[in-house]
Structure 1
Amino acid sequence: MMHADLIDQDDFRDRLVALGFEIPCGVSAEQACERAIVGLSRERAQALRRLVEELLGGSATLLPSVREAICRNLLPALVHAS
Structure 2
Amino acid sequence: MPAAPYIDAEAFREHLNAVGLEIPSQTSPAEACEQAVRGLDAQRARELRHLVEQLLAGSATLHPEVRQAISHTLLPALCNAAERTH
Report TM bin, short chain: over 0.9
Q: What corresponds to 1:58 in structure 2?
A: 58
The answer to whether 1:30 aligns with 2:19 is no
Unaligned runs of 5+ in 2: none
Q: Deviations over 1:20-41 (max 9, x none)?
A: 1121110100000000000011
Offset at 1:44?
0.5
CA distance in 2, matches of 1:8, 1:45: 22
Q: How many residues align?
A: 82
Q: What corresponds to 2:42 in structure 1?
A: 42
| TM-score, reference length from structure 2 | 0.91
Offset at 1:2?
4.4
Report runs of 4+ in structure 1 exceeding 6 Å deviation.
none
Helix, strand or coil: the match of 1:31?
helix
| TM-score, reference length from structure 1 | 0.96
Offset at 1:4?
2.1
Helix, strand or coil: the match of 1:47?
helix
Identity of paired residues, percent? Answer: 54
CA RMSD of aligned residues (A): 1.0
Give the counterpart letter for 1:15 in structure 2: H
CA distance in 2, matches of 1:23, 1:40: 15
Unaligned runs of 5+ in 1: none
